[in-house]
C-alpha cells in the first residue's frame, strides 16, 4: 500500500505540470512531438511548483503532509484539466494517435526496426536504472553531507528549518542546524521530503526516485523539441537516446542525491523553451523559458550564472542583424572587466577571482576525451563545430550557438581564473560542472547536423538540374 502511495506522490507533480501545459495550449498547434514535449516539460515544471508550494506552506506555518501538500496540488491539477477539457485541448483520439506513432511510426521498414530497437533499449536502460534506485541506499558523498541532511531534518520537523555554519550553530541557543553546505538551496531536499511523505516513512533510497523521472522527462523533452524543429522522427530519437545514454547522466540517476542532474534538466529545458521562442515568438514559450531560468538558482547557486547564459541568445534573437556583433563586443568588455576584478580578489557566488592563469589543459583533455563519462560526445561536438563552423551564425542556429558558447566560456572561466582551478585535477568536479551543459550540447549538435544534411541534400538536388 505504501508503494502505491509513493507512486501517486511521484505522479502528482507530473500530472500537475501536464495539466498546466495543456490548459495553456502549449505547444501551440499540432506540432510534431507535442506529446513528448509536454511530458518532458510537465514533470520538470510540476516538481518546481511542488517545491515552491512546500516553501509557501513552511513560510505560513502549515506542517508538511499528504493533505497539506498533495490535496491542494491534486485539486489544482484537476481544475487545470477541466479547463483544458472545456477548451477542447484534451481528446482521446490524440492519445490513441500518440500511442500508435510510438509503437508503429509511419517510417520505412528499416527505420521502423531501428526505432523499435531504440525504444526497447531506452526502456531497458531506464528499467536497470530503476533497479539501482530501488536497491541502492543513499551513497554519494555530497548527497548525504549537503542535501539529505536537510531532507531528514525537514521531514521530521514537517517544515523548513534554518541551517547555519558550525560556528553559528555552536553559538546558537537552539532551533537551527548545520551541515557541510548550509547555504545551499532548498529544492533538492524538498523533493526528497515529498517522496518520503508520499511513502509514509523516511527511506533514503525511495526518496531518490525523482532523479530517474527527471532523466526520463529530459529524454522526452529533447525528442519533442527536436521533432518540433523539423527533425525526422528517427533522428530526433537518436539524439534523445544520446542524451539518455551519457554515462555521467545515468550515474547521477542511479546514484541519486546530487543536484547536478536536476540542474541539467532545468537549464536544458529553459534553453529549449528559449529556442522555441526565438524561432516562433510565442509568448508562452517565453514565459516557460523565463520561469525555468528563474528557477535555476533554486537548484544550485551557480544556477544564477547558467540562467544568465541565456541572455546573449536573447540579444541575438531580438537583433538578428547586429546581435552577434553586440554579443562579441559584450564578450570582450566582460573579459576585460573580469581580468580587472581578478586583481582585487573579488568573491562572486563563493568563487574567488584571481589573476593566475593556469588552464589545466591536461585535466580537460582527460575529462572530456579520455575518461568514460561522456562516450564520444566531445569528439562529435568538436568535429561538428569544425565542419559546420560557417553555419553557426545562421538565423536558425545563432541564438543557440551563443548560448552554448557562453556556457562553455563559463566553464572555462570558472576552472581557469578562479579558486575552482584547484579542483579540476579531481575530474569528478569538472565533469559534474560540465553535466549541466552536456544535454544542450547534444541538442545543439543535432540541430547543426540538420543544417549540414539539409545543405548536402540541397546541393544534391541542384547538381542534376545544373547538369
Q: Given a cut of 60, is residue 463 above it in pLDDT?
A: no
pLDDT of 28: 82
Q: Given a cut of 70, is residue 101 above it in pLDDT?
A: no
The pLDDT tens digits for 179-223 are 988 999 999 999 999 999 999 999 999 999 999 999 999 999 999
The pLDDT tens digits for 381-408 are 999 999 999 999 999 999 999 999 999 9
Domains of the chain, by residue range, sit at 2-268, 296-465
pTM value surpassing 0.85: yes
Chain centroid, CA 255 distance in Å:
17
Region 132-156 average pLDDT: 91
The pLDDT tens digits for 211-243 are 999 999 999 999 999 999 999 999 999 999 999
The proportion of the chain whose per-residue pLDDT surpasses 70, expressed as a percent, equals 87
The pLDDT tens digits for 287-314 are 999 999 999 999 999 999 999 999 999 9
Closest by CA position to 145, among listed 176, 187, 189: 189
Local structure of 459: helix, strand or coil: helix
Q: Given a cut of 90, is residue 430 above it in pLDDT?
A: no
Query: Cα(189)–Cα(373) distance, rounded to whole angstroms?
Result: 26
Backbone phi and psi for residue 62, each to the nearest 5 degrees, phi listed first: -95, 125
User: Sign (positive/negative) of CA torsion 44, 46, 51, 56?
Assistant: positive
pLDDT of 30: 61
What residues form DSSP beta bridges with 82? none
Residue 229: which region, alpha, beta or left (left: phi > 0; alpha: psi -120 to 50)?
A: alpha
Amino acid at each position: 500500500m505504501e508503494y502505491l502511495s509513493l507512486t501517486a506522490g511521484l505522479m502528482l507533480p507530473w500530472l500537475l505540470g501536464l495539466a498546466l501545459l495543456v490548459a495553456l495550449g502549449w505547444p501551440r498547434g499540432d506540432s510534431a512531438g507535442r506529446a513528448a514535449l509536454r511530458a518532458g516539460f510537465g514533470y520538470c515544471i510540476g516538481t518546481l511548483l511542488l517545491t515552491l508550494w512546500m516553501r509557501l506552506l513552511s513560510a505560513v506555518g502549515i506542517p508538511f503532509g499528504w493533505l497539506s501538500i498533495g490535496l491542494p496540488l491534486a485539486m489544482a491539477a484537476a481544475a487545470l484539466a477541466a479547463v483544458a477539457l472545456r477548451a477542447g485541448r484534451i481528446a482521446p483520439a490524440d492519445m490513441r494517435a500518440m500511442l500508435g506513432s510510438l509503437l508503429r511510426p509511419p517510417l520505412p521498414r528499416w527505420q521502423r526496426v531501428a526505432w523499435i530497437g531504440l525504444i526497447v533499449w531506452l526502456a531497458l536502460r531506464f528499467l536497470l536504472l530503476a533497479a539501482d534506485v530501488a536497491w541502492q541506499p543513499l551513497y554519494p558523498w555530497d548527497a548525504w553531507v549537503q542535501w539529505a541532511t536537510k531532507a531528514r531534518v525537514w521531514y521530521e520537523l514537517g517544515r523548513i528549518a534554518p541551517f547555519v555554519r558550525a560556528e553559528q550553530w555552536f553559538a546558537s541557543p537552539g532551533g537551527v542546524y548545520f551541515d557541510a553546505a548550509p547555504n545551499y538551496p532548498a529544492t533538492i531536499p524538498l523533493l526528497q521530503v515529498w517522496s518520503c511523505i508520499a511513502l509514509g516513512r523516511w527511506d533514503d533510497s525511495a526518496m531518490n526516485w525523482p532523479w530517474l523521472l527527471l532523466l526520463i522527462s529530459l529524454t522526452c523533452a529533447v525528442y519533442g523539441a527536436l521533432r518540433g524543429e523539423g527533425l525526422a522522427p528517427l533522428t530526433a530519437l537518436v539524439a534523445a537516446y544520446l542524451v539518455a545514454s551519457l554515462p555521467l547522466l545515468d550515474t547521477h540517476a542511479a546514484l541519486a542525491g546530487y543536484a547536478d542532474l536536476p540542474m541539467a534538466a532545468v537549464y536544458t529545458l529553459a534553453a529549449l523553451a528559449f529556442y522555441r521562442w526565438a524561432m516562433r515568438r510565442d509568448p508562452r514559450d517565453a514565459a516557460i523559458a523565463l520561469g525555468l531560468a528563474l528557477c535555476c538558482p533554486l537548484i544550485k547557486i551557480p544556477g544564477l550564472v547558467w540562467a544568465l547564459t541565456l541572455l546573449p541568445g536573447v540579444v541575438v534573437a531580438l537583433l538578428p542583424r547586429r546581435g552577434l556583433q553586440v554579443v562579441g563586443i559584450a564578450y570582450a568588455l566582460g573579459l576585460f572587466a573580469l581580468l580587472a576584478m581578478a586583481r582585487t580578489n573579488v568573491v562572486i557566488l563563493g568563487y574567488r577571482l584571481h589573476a593566475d592563469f593556469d588552464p589545466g589543459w591536461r585535466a580537460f583533455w582527460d575529462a572530456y576525451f579520455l575518461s568514460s563519462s561522456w562516450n564520444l560526445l566531445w569528439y562529435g561536438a568538436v568535429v561538428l563545430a569544425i565542419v559546420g563552423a560557417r553555419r553557426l551564425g545562421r538565423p536558425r542556429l545563432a541564438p543557440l550557438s551563443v548560448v552554448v558558447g557562453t556556457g562553455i566560456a563559463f566553464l572555462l572561466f570558472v576552472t581557469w581564473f578562479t579558486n575552482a582551478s584547484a579542483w579540476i585535477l579531481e575530474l569528478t568536479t569538472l565533469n559534474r560542472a560540465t553535466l549541466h551543459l552536456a544535454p544542450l550540447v547534444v541538442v545543439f549538435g543535432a540541430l547543426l547536423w540538420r543544417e549540414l544534411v539539409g545543405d548536402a541534400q540541397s546541393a544534391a538536388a541542384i547538381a542534376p538540374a545544373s547538369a
